[in-house]
C-alpha cells in the first residue's frame, strides 16, 4: 500500500474537494508488523481539506475481523467519552464507522489488514461526512 499522501494524490483528492491541494506528510513509519502514514491535504486557505491516516497490518498473525475491530473501537470511544458516542455504520470496505462527535470516518478492509481514518472539511461539527465517505470509497476502489 502506498503512503497516505501518495494515496490522496492518486484519487486525486484535488478533484474530490474542488480545490488545488498541497500534500503534507505528518507521519510515516514502518516495522516488520505494521506500516502507518498520515497525510494532511491543505487547501489555498492553508486549512486542512482532507486528512488521511493509513495503517496496514503486516504481521504474520493477522488482525481480528473488521467487524470486531469496529465494535472494539465503539467500546473504546465509549470508555474515552464516558458515554456512547453518536455513530453511523457505513457501507464502505468490510466495516466502516462515522463518529459524529469527532467528525471521523474509520474504514477497515483487505481482510481487516488495512485501516484508514479520514477527516474532511474540518473537525467535529465542521467535518464533511459526505466528502470523507467519497474519499474512503475512492481509496477502497482504487486500492482494492
**Structural domain boundaries in the chain:** 4-142
Q: Which CATH number fits domain 4-142: 3.40.1000, 1.10.1740, 3.30.200, 1.10.357?
A: 3.40.1000
- Report the b/e string of 73-102 with b at 16+ CB within 10 A: beeebeeeeeeebebeebebbbbbbbbeeb
Comparison of pLDDT for 39 and 61, the residue scoring more: 39
pLDDT digits (tens, 9 = 90+) for 92-134: 999 999 999 999 999 999 999 999 999 998 777 778 999 999 9
The verdict on pTM exceeding 0.75 is yes
pLDDT digits (tens, 9 = 90+) for 46-86: 889 999 999 999 999 888 899 999 999 999 999 999 999 99
Amino acid at each position: 500500500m502506498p503512503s497516505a499522501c501518495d494515496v490522496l494524490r492518486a484519487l486525486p483528492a484535488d478533484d474530490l474537494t474542488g480545490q488545488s491541494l498541497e500534500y503534507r506528510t505528518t507521519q510515516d513509519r514502518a516495522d516488520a508488523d505494521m506500516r502507518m502514514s498520515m497525510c494532511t491535504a491543505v487547501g489555498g486557505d492553508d486549512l486542512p481539506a482532507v486528512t488521511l491516516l493509513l495503517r496496514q497490518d503486516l504481521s504474520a498473525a493477522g488482525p481480528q475481523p473488521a467487524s470486531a475491530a469496529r465494535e472494539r473501537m465503539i467500546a473504546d470511544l465509549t470508555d474515552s467519552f464516558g458515554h456512547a458516542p453518536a455513530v453511523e455504520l457505513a457501507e464502505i470496505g468490510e466495516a466502516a464507522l462515522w463518529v459524529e462527535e469527532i467528525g471521523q470516518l474509520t474504514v477497515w478492509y483487505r481482510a481487516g489488514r488495512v485501516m484508514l481514518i479520514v477527516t474532511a472539511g474540518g473537525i467535529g461539527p465542521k467535518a464533511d461526512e459526505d466528502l470523507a465517505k467519497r474519499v474512503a470509497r475512492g481509496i477502497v476502489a482504487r486500492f482494492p
